[in-house]
Structure 1
Amino acid sequence: MRLNLNSNEESDIKERFVNGVKAKTGLVRINDSNRGSIAVRLVLTLECLKLQKKEDVDNHPSSSSSAEDTLDNFQPSPNYYLRYVTVTRKNGSLGISVKGGRENNLPILISKIPEGGAAHNTKRLFVGDAIIKVNDHLITNVCHDDALQMLRSSGHNVTLLVKHYKAAAPFLLGPRGNNNNNNGESEEEEDDVWVDFISIPLLMGYVTRYVQGTDKLRRNGFEVHGMNGTNSSIIHCDNVNSLSEWIKCITENIANLAEIQIKLYNLNFGINEKIEYMGWVNEGVLNNNHPWQSYCARFMIIRGRDVLLFDTPPMSISEWLDCEVVYKLYESMLRVVKDTENVDQRQNCFLLQTCSGVSRYFSMETKQGLLDVQCAWHRSICTSMMNIKSRTFYVLHGNNQQPSNLILDWDNGFTLYDNWTNSNIWTYKFSELRGSSDDHISRLKLHFNNAGCIETKELVCQDLQSLLFCVHAFLTAKVVSVDPSYLNTDSIQQ
């Protein structure tokens, strides 16, 4: 997947606990039909991606108030210099934001107290208060993230020992009572009120940077689609590193969930029916009314001897059994399309060719996704051919076109069996095949190495394409069985 933005900015994605769950968070933009481009927060957990909007809260005095009036509202009287304050959470929140920490050589300072929140209702906490203890646990020498975790896990009723730093209040409030992010301090957003408005389960979901149905890559945006039909709309990132990291993290979470789901499914399948791959691919579809190719998302499963294609992920046994598009692996071939052969701007493409003459063109979102499909295909081919052991094809050989059987056998290789004499005419190992040629109709020439000499055997087969694909499947399986490292993604990169 190509990233076209040029930026040296670091990713602004943070890792924190949200409602007690470890998550990655960050601000992005989406387009709203009523409000135009709006800022939202992404919250990524192992199983879900949430888009959140910030709930509007009037935290600040009116614009007519002076900076001095603002500070007066937040400065305690002298007898509040060192004190205990008990805060009862409201909607799970203490109602404070904090800055500072050991990494900044600062105490944990209250930087914001939204009006109407739990802390505001006590009337005894103020911007500029340093938190000394949380429920008798000293936090004067902890880092920012550890302090946040202690505050979040401190229970419903929290007793804080605080000490006011009068000089810190103007610094934290800024000239008009707003929070500033100065001197490298990290501003905590968790106590702001964020409300979920889109929640996308990642199991059997997918990420795409392409404009729907086209080969056009979005410069700074992506979409996330869930199997339940939900989608994220177009998520825009102004930071190229954040864009790259979001796509990478979401894709990895989807892949991890798919791997777990595959293991669960495989508990119900026999050793020769295991799922090796399950995920979304993009199929190029020619439209007779237009000169260009459009793309549709297909859900591909490589299982046992079959490759299955669905419009939506199967959710029941009946849906598995009723799949309308099923191809046998040993009667098909997966061929990676070189970059110079791509039909348009889509990258990471491959062809699924079948013996019936059907050829389907697919594109993956990432190079790694393409390698995953290749590896799964090779694993399934190896398992299938070792289990099948042999395949027999009716052929004609010789000048008088004698009817015979060409037997492809896992142990013996190629054997031509004469049906008239009931005897083997010749046998060669798979490793002795040096090449082949055909007329794309029925005539096939096989070139074998026999003690340093090339011997050519000419056959006529009405099921030529199926024979060729089956030969390819046996040869691929042999290579994989001899060299298991061939299944590693590094060894099959083009």
Structure 2
Amino acid sequence: MKQKHRNLDVIHHGLVLISDGKGRGRPSRLLLTKDQISIQIPSDAVIDEVSVAPEDTSTRHIVIKKRKDGGGLGLSIRGGDHNSNFPIVISKIFPDMPADETKQLFVGDAIVEVNGIAVDGKSHDEVVEMLKSEDDEVTLGVRHFTQITPYLKPASSLQPGRSGSALDKLYEPNTWKSAMKAHSDLGLYEKKSSTAHHSSMGTLDRDDGKWKTISTIPLPMAYLTRYLWGTDNLRQHAFELRAVDGTSSGVIHCEDSRALELWLMKIHQHINHLNQKSIKMSNKYLHQSEQITYIGWVNEHLTEEASVDPKQRWEPRFLILKGGDICLFETPPLNSDDLGKCLNLYKCYDVAVKQVPDDMRRLDKRDNCLWVETALGEEVKHYLAFESPQMMERFEAAYYRCVHTTINAMQTRTFACSFEGRPSGLVFDIKQGISLYDIPTKSYAWQYRFRDLHSSSDDGKVLVQLVFNDDRSLDPKKLETKDMECEEVLTVVYNLQAFLLAKIVAVDPEFLKQNPLQ
């Protein structure tokens, strides 16, 4: 007798709908363990595929060509009642009919236009008449109606004794819950207490005879996103998980926002935990000056020139802080050789990391964004977005530590400049502060502590101005202004910021939580 394989560390599990993002999906079960997610489908195949709208929130225009012998479009619609808040929705598509032959229409699509005329406010009968146009073809404008459950077409076997479409209950608010209850009544997933869904399932069978595992997604360095691929459009109650080898979970549709948040929280926690273990393992073989302090996925906004598809403006990047380096990769490095194959590498003190405020300065609708500005000018900077505020906070904390450690190890940097027409060296020293070394006399012209710095400015080209608080100054405000000309203005400015940041982290690291870099 074949012994069942038991998974003893299932932490979270639940019923979801998994689709390919192109309109076909099926009910499934997810099992989350410490290091992977297993995707299961009913082993007795009592659940057929269901129709879900494509992963696109914009209006799609589909042309249906009528047959010369008549016969209609081959679709049914529901909705349009004046007393209903629901749109006109395609409730059925008949096989081998014109609508079906387009391969672009799906049960649950909301019809917003017929031949360029909006249907908003029109009754069901009026829309039917519009669809009966005498023209040889009809152009429909359709859109995914995100408030309607993606559970649009359960198999008829789930509703014994009933005939006709399952969309008879499409407009009921508990459609998804009713469908899950139908699964439960048929024994398609185990009975559990109200708290069992959120606690450890130590004795849960991975393959219990009713469910069959069809795929597993390893969590180490996995990529988790709620966004439609390459865009700033959020999926409604859905997410996608991709393994480090590119294996995808498909689009996972959750029951509601609470279920979604719970899945995201638990998956993020385990990915982060596993990433920390990877960091510790890697650091055993790296020199102290090359220690890794952060790894994780981020998304980079592409310029029109860099984007192959104008609609795909975001690209995943794997971000690593290693020693004093900020490294961006296309894919996670899996060995020491891969660490040298990054797309971009910058010293943490030669860049400025700035949060993007939640206002018109954002490039699009994505949240949790920051700029990484380099000393190479405005043409070389990176606009990055994290999937959650917590992920951005973890990166910022690691970045602050990275700068603090690197600057303290470096201690001092000197930049060639000209002060009052004399060749000089502008010196930043973590202990001594800011000073100017006069080369002809081989002596220091002036020196200030970092806390004496009142303000700084530059023209982005050659001029740098530093203003210091100075009780000895003849200025009524007791401010002393120092103007210098430097060839590497941005490098000077970013290094000054790095030294100031290192001093802040050493004295009051909590200050940066209330005053993020902008």
Q: Normalising by structure 2, what TM-score?
A: 0.65
The residue that corresponds to 2:182 in the other structure is none
Following TM superposition, by how much is the alpha carbon of 1:261 offset from its aligned partner in structure 2, in angstroms?
1.1
Within-5 A mapping of 1:13-32: 19-31=7-19
What one-letter code is carried by the residue in structure 1 that aligns with 2:495? C
Cα distance change on mapping 1:334 and 1:98 into 2, 3 Å: closer
Within-5 A mapping of 1:336-355: 336-340=355-359, 341-355=361-375
Distance 2:208 2:340 in 1: 50
Q: 2:20, 2:250 within 8 Å by CA — same for their partners in 1?
A: no
Following TM superposition, by how much is the alpha carbon of 1:33 offset from its aligned partner in structure 2, in angstroms?
9.1
The residue that corresponds to 2:390 in the other structure is 368
Distance 1:19 1:471 in 2: 54
Q: 2:317, 2:329 within 8 Å by CA — same for their partners in 1?
A: yes
Following TM superposition, by how much is the alpha carbon of 1:293 offset from its aligned partner in structure 2, in angstroms?
6.8
Give secondary structure in 2 for the equivalent of 1:356. coil
1:395 aligns with 2:423: no
The residue that corresponds to 1:310 in the other structure is 329
Q: Deviations over 1:301-341 (max 9, x none)?
A: 01211000110000111111233411011100100000102
Q: Deviations over 1:213-247 (max 9, x none)?
A: 00001112100011011011101112221111011
Give secondary structure in 1 for the equivalent of 2:11. strand
The residue that corresponds to 1:278 in the other structure is 295
Q: 2:318 aligns with which of 289, 295, 299?
A: 299
Following TM superposition, by how much is the alpha carbon of 1:437 offset from its aligned partner in structure 2, in angstroms?
1.8
Within-5 A mapping of 1:144-159: none
Cα distance change on mapping 1:207 and 1:384 into 2, 3 Å: same
What one-letter code is carried by the residue in structure 2 that aligns with 1:474? F
Following TM superposition, by how much is the alpha carbon of 1:32 offset from its aligned partner in structure 2, in angstroms?
5.8
Distance 2:21 2:499 in 1: 56
Within-5 A mapping of 1:247-266: 247-266=264-283
Distance 1:281 1:229 in 2: 16
Give secondary structure in 2 for the equivalent of 1:199. strand
Following TM superposition, by how much is the alpha carbon of 1:35 offset from its aligned partner in structure 2, in angstroms?
9.4
Distance 1:295 1:440 in 2: 28
Q: 1:405 aligns with which of 417, 421, 425?
A: 425
Give secondary structure in 2 for the equivalent of 1:268. coil
Q: 2:188, 2:210 within 8 Å by CA — same for their partners in 1?
A: no
Following TM superposition, by how much is the alpha carbon of 1:453 offset from its aligned partner in structure 2, in angstroms?
1.1
The residue that corresponds to 1:43 in the other structure is 31
CA RMSD of aligned residues (A): 3.3
Distance 2:414 2:256 in 1: 58
Give secondary structure in 2 for the equivalent of 1:234. strand
What one-letter code is carried by the residue in structure 1 that aligns with 2:304? N
Give secondary structure in 2 for the equivalent of 1:323. coil
Q: 1:286, 1:292 within 8 Å by CA — same for their partners in 2?
A: no
Q: 1:427 aligns with which of 400, 424, 447?
A: 447
What one-letter code is carried by the residue in structure 2 that aligns with 1:43? L
Q: 1:444, 1:461 within 8 Å by CA — same for their partners in 2?
A: yes
Distance 2:240 2:438 in 1: 60
What one-letter code is carried by the residue in structure 2 that aligns with 1:317? S
Distance 1:216 1:31 in 2: 17
Following TM superposition, by how much is the alpha carbon of 1:20 offset from its aligned partner in structure 2, in angstroms?
2.5
Following TM superposition, by how much is the alpha carbon of 1:260 offset from its aligned partner in structure 2, in angstroms?
1.2
Q: 1:470 aligns with which of 495, 510, 513?
A: 495
Name the larger-Rg structure: 1
Distance 1:312 1:404 in 2: 44
* Identical amino acids, percent of aligned pairs: 34
The residue that corresponds to 2:263 in the other structure is 246
Following TM superposition, by how much is the alpha carbon of 1:19 offset from its aligned partner in structure 2, in angstroms?
2.5
The residue that corresponds to 1:161 in the other structure is none
Distance 1:144 1:19 in 2: 16
Q: Deviations over 1:446-486 (max 9, x none)?
A: 10011271000110001111000000000000000111434
The residue that corresponds to 2:460 in the other structure is 440
Q: Which moved more, 1:358-367 or 1:285-294?
A: 285-294
The residue that corresponds to 1:193 in the other structure is 210
Cα distance change on mapping 1:292 and 1:465 into 2, 3 Å: farther
The residue that corresponds to 1:482 in the other structure is 507
Gaps of 5+ in 1: 1-16, 64-94, 104-142, 154-187
Q: Deviations over 1:80-137 (max 9, x none)?
A: xxxxxxxxxxxxxxx9998699x9xxxxxxxxxxxxxxxxxxxxxxxxxxxxxxxxxx
What one-letter code is carried by the residue in structure 1 that aligns with 2:231? T
Count, aligned residues: 366
Cα distance change on mapping 1:352 and 1:424 into 2, 3 Å: same
Give secondary structure in 1 for the equivalent of 2:250. coil
Q: 2:469, 2:478 within 8 Å by CA — same for their partners in 1?
A: yes
Q: 2:35, 2:274 within 8 Å by CA — same for their partners in 1?
A: yes
What one-letter code is carried by the residue in structure 2 that aligns with 1:378? Y
Cα distance change on mapping 1:442 and 1:379 into 2, 3 Å: same
Q: 1:418 aligns with which of 408, 430, 438?
A: 438
Give secondary structure in 2 for the equivalent of 1:339. coil
Cα distance change on mapping 1:221 and 1:440 into 2, 3 Å: same
Following TM superposition, by how much is the alpha carbon of 1:286 offset from its aligned partner in structure 2, in angstroms?
1.3
Q: 1:97, 1:191 within 8 Å by CA — same for their partners in 2?
A: no
Q: 1:332 aligns with which of 351, 375, 384?
A: 351
Q: Deviations over 1:45-104 (max 9, x none)?
A: 01001111110079xxxx9xxxxxxxxxxxxxxxxxxxxxxxxxxxxxxx9998699x9x
Give secondary structure in 2 for the equivalent of 1:407. strand
Q: 2:21, 2:251 within 8 Å by CA — same for their partners in 1?
A: no
Q: Deviations over 1:9-30 (max 9, x none)?
A: xxxxxxxx95333331100001
Distance 1:53 1:386 in 2: 55
Distance 2:412 2:406 in 1: 11
Cα distance change on mapping 1:432 and 1:189 into 2, 3 Å: closer
Q: Normalising by structure 1, what TM-score?
A: 0.68
Q: 1:53, 1:197 within 8 Å by CA — same for their partners in 2?
A: yes
What one-letter code is carried by the residue in structure 1 that aligns with 2:323? G
